Structure 1
Amino acid sequence: MESGSETQFLLNPKSGSAEEENPKPKAKPKVVVVMGPTGSGKSRLSVDLASHFPIEIINSDSMQVYKGLDVLTNKIPLEDQKGVPHHLLGIVSPDIEFTAKDFRDAAIPLIKDILSRNRVPVIVGGTNYYIQINKYLSLYASFGVLPSKLLQETAMENWGRVDNCRYNCCFICVDASLPLLDQYVEQRVDHMVDAGLLNEVYDIYNLNADYTRGLRQAIGVREFEDFLRVHLFEGQNCKEIDSTDDRHSQMSINKAGKLLKENMKEILNSSGENQLKLLLEEAIDRVKANTRRLVRRQKRRLSRLQTLFGWNIHYVDATESLLCVSNDSWTAHVVEPSVKIIRSYLNEDASLVPDSKTRSGTEGLKLIQRDLWTRYECKACGNRVLRGAHEWEQHKQCRGHRKRISSLRKSGNFCSVE
């Protein structure tokens, strides 16, 4: 969610002349950034912070910026916003590509406006690379060198560093153990299905859609394409439809739409095995697997921001709070440490801010380390590739995999793929 123009989002423009050799340093505007992987509780924390500070929230999730798919993108419902102003949430047409440059252009005036009202801008979202790429855009505009080239040279040593920010940022990362986040992903996708996820996907489904642009690139859209094609067309006894005949194809989709929404749960809960049910289960499993991969990418990006660019990220560990699902635990282990960090940051008392490597709250609780890199390949599922031992174990437990293994055993072909 970055936006673009010639305005630099994070970097202060290089200015000055020979007459201004020692200008008086100007205090940078203060901005709080709440980061963290999917499912850690970023939105919840940001709203809770409003009980302690006069804040306004700027959404920086790359999919939540679009209109539609509220269930799939997990937008915070209006009733859960508790009156806290939210910006850049569900405002962009789903067919438009909203780039990092676009986010930058939209965020800068918002930050300025919020600060003018003596309120604290809080940028919240999982798309952490947006903030980093704002830095890259600014540097490219200033020096004309591509980030990809600089990343291979020593010249990039100071690129993307917080010292170069045009804002004085306080970075808070809500984190949790990987197995717990994987479990949350499983539960959240199932809940989304019950809440009408497929109905949302159907509403933006189009035969010849570009799934690399706009809202359709969100995890949870493309995964259902095979199921939708079979259900919408074969369900209408249309064995073959020329995909170039958009009018004919779209009419068939419209006719089958009502049937899809009514029979969604019936297909999932039907007894026995049939093509539609298998396709639907496989799609749901792919959504879960791709979301787990997203969690791992988000964690790696956060690590890079700290190790490569020296970002002083303050971690709060939500593991215990998410395990016990207690408001008291959430307040004690996530909200209170975050409030302490931000209050110290606003008062410029660095001595009160925990070290960035310290996990506030449950400091003694170590995040479970798992193998994130080993490559596994499931021949039974069409040579599907899994990354990391934990993801492999999760895949082996999914319904689609178990059913395929069962079928292979019955047919005597299990040994050939084992």
Structure 2
Amino acid sequence: MMRTILSACKQVQTPLLDISGLNLELFNPRRRKEKVVFVIGATGTGKSKLSIDLATRFPSEIINSDKMQVYKGLHIVTNKVTEEECRGVPHHLLGIADPNTNFTAMDFCHHASLAIQSITARNRHPIIAGGSNSFIEALVTDVPEFKSRYECCFLWVDVSLPVLHRFVSERVDRMVEAGLVEEVKRIFDPEADYSRGIRRAIGVPEMDQFLRGERIVGDKIAAQYLRKAIAKIKENTCKLACSQLDKIHRLQNIRGWKIHRLDATEAFLKRGDDAEEAWEKHVAGPSMDIVGCFLRHQDCVPNIVVPVPVPSTAIIGSTVAMTAVAAASH
């Protein structure tokens, strides 16, 4: 059954600004900078959960930085937050873009900058959350106005790769049960370009063979096509997670970003109340301390383990292991 999405997320459409009347004092280098919190991490690690946790404890609004969730439609495929998960927190840049066009890093920088200005003008804090690190890097490093106006705090939600791979495989199964196949079927077009817009999302091109052959092959072969498609979705999702981790290490080690790593592995290994307790202990609680100090202009970071740099070859190796996990699940 389709989940109710976005209606209660207080999705905000930020109007274009007339820069002719922009207050140049905002760009005064001696002016105290506004604060922006970033929540990053691989797919499936709980970035949305943490950003909403933070927004319920600090006066904040969330700006989506996931390059697929920015498009309208495909709520299950892109794993958009549900009405319940939003918990009344306003969200920006979620389901705003035409699904048939490419929403670029430049587009993100433009719209995110407007959203940040709108949020800070109302004395609230922007929390930018999502897995598209290229969008975040472009905003932080390539937009001069951003660098001159804002100070950044980076929170990285991390999960042990073997644990994350298993979770991703299980999450894909839940997405299929929730209606992923039917959702993709509704937008299927045999002439579609899978390199544009929302059709680039993992979960769409992988279904192509199944959807083309479903009506012309027997049920047994169609079922084989579907199993193959689901296995490929799992494989590609975990490859994406590894690529995202590689990018985070490069931002940390090459760009020199100060990134606070929060290990959520224990929360993923537990269930029910024990999982929530582990999440609070290892992720939410330390994040509140970090952000609280950041907003008070204090340098008081909790004792959090600093991650050892992981070379790309190690991450690629983990992708091979993940592929075996995905295949074994079928």
Secondary structure of 2:57's counterpart equals coil
CA contact under 8 A between 2:64 and 2:128: conserved in structure 1? yes
Q: What corresponds to 1:306 in structure 2?
A: 252
What is the 5 A alignment of 1:16-35?
Answer: 25-35=30-40
Q: Distance in 2 between matches of 1:388 and 1:69?
A: 26
- Deviation, structure 1 residue 131: 1.4
- Find out whether 1:54 has 2:3 as its counterpart: no
CA contact (8 A) 2:29 2:148 kept: no
Match of 1:217 in 2: 200
Distance 1:107-1:24 versus aligned 2 partners, 3 A rule: closer
- How far did residue 138 of structure 1 move? 4.1
RMSD: 3.1
What pairs with 1:85-104 in structure 2 (closer than 5 Å)? 85-104=90-109
Conserved? CA contact 2:154–2:258, under 8 Å: yes
8 Å CA contact 2:97, 2:103 repeated in 1: yes
Partner deviation per Cα, 1:161-191 (whole Å, 9 max, x = no partner): x9x5642000001111001110011100000
Pick aligned residue for 1:129 from 120, 125, 134: 134
Name the CA shift for 1:226/1:308 in 2 (closer, same or farther; >3 Å). same
Report how far residue 134 of structure 1 moved: 3.3
Matched letter for residue 38 of structure 2: V
Q: Which has the larger radius of gyration?
A: 1
Q: Are the structure 2 counterparts of residues 341 and 81 from structure 1 closer, same or farther at C-alpha, using a change threshold of 3 Å? A: same
Q: Which residue is 1:108 aligned to?
A: 113
Counterpart residue identity of residue 119, structure 1: R
Aligned equivalent of 1:372, options 289, 311, 315: 315
- Output the amino acid matched with 1:283: A
Question: Could you say if the C-alpha distance between residues 319 and 24 of structure 1 is closer, same or farther in structure 2, counting changes exceeding 3 Å?
Answer: closer
User: Which residue of 296, 302, 327 maps to 1:347?
Assistant: 296
Establish whether residue 394 from structure 1 lines up as the match of residue 325 from structure 2. yes
Query: Is there any run of 5+ residues in structure 2 with no aligned partner, and where?
Result: 1-15, 19-23
Q: Which runs of 5+ in 1 are unaligned?
A: 8-12, 17-22, 143-161, 238-266, 268-273, 360-366, 375-386, 400-418
Identity of aligned residues (%): 43
Scaled by the length of structure 1, what TM-score is found?
0.67
Amino acid aligned to 1:220: G
Please give the alpha-carbon distance, in whole angstroms, between the structure 1 residues aligned to 2:62 and 2:132: 15
Is residue 338 of structure 1 aligned with residue 287 of structure 2?
yes
Match 1:289 to one of 224, 235, 238: 235
Q: Deviations over 1:252-295 (max 9, x none)?
A: xxxxxxxxxxxxxxx6xxxxxx2111111000000000001000
Among residues 42, 45, 50, which one is paired with 1:37 in the alignment?
42
Give the superposition deviation at 1:357: 5.4
How many residues end up aligned between the 2 structures?
A: 307
Q: Deviations over 1:204-254 (max 9, x none)?
A: 11111111110000000000101100114x16x9xxxxxxxxxxxxxxxxx
From 59, 68, 73, give the equivalent of 1:68: 73
1:332 deviation in Å? 1.5
| Deviation at residue 133 of structure 1 after TM alignment | 2.5
* Contact 2:231-2:327 within 8 A present in 1 as well: no
How much does 1:38 deviate?
0.8
| Distance (whole Å) between structure 1 residues aligned to residue 302 and residue 57 of structure 2 | 19
Look up the SS of the partner of 1:314 in the other structure: strand
Cα distance in structure 2, aligned partners of 1:165 and 1:204? 43
Q: How does 1:238-253 map to 2 (within 5 A)?
A: none
Distance across 1 between alignment mates of 2:229 and 2:285? 40
> 1:63, CA displacement in angstroms?
0.4
Q: Residue 342 of structure 1 aligns to which amino acid in structure 2?
A: V
The partner residue of 1:185 within 168, 179, 198 is 168
What is the match of residue 4 of structure 2?
Answer: none
Amino acid at match of 2:278: S
The separation in 1 between residues aligned to 2:296 and 2:128, in whole angstroms, is: 19
Aligned pairs for 1:76-87 (under 5 A) are 76-87=81-92
Asked if 2 retains the 8 angstrom alpha-carbon contact of 1:371 and 1:389, the reply is no
Cα distance change of structure 1 residues 284 and 392 upon mapping to structure 2, 3 Å threshold = closer
- How does the TM-score come out when normalised to structure 2? 0.85
Amino acid aligned to 1:390 = A
Contact 1:67–1:93 (CA<8 Å) still a contact in 2? yes
Amino acid at match of 2:165: D
Helix, strand or coil: the match of 1:373?
A: helix
Deviation, structure 1 residue 46: 1.0
2:276 corresponds in structure 1 to 327
State the one-letter code of the partner of 2:55.
A
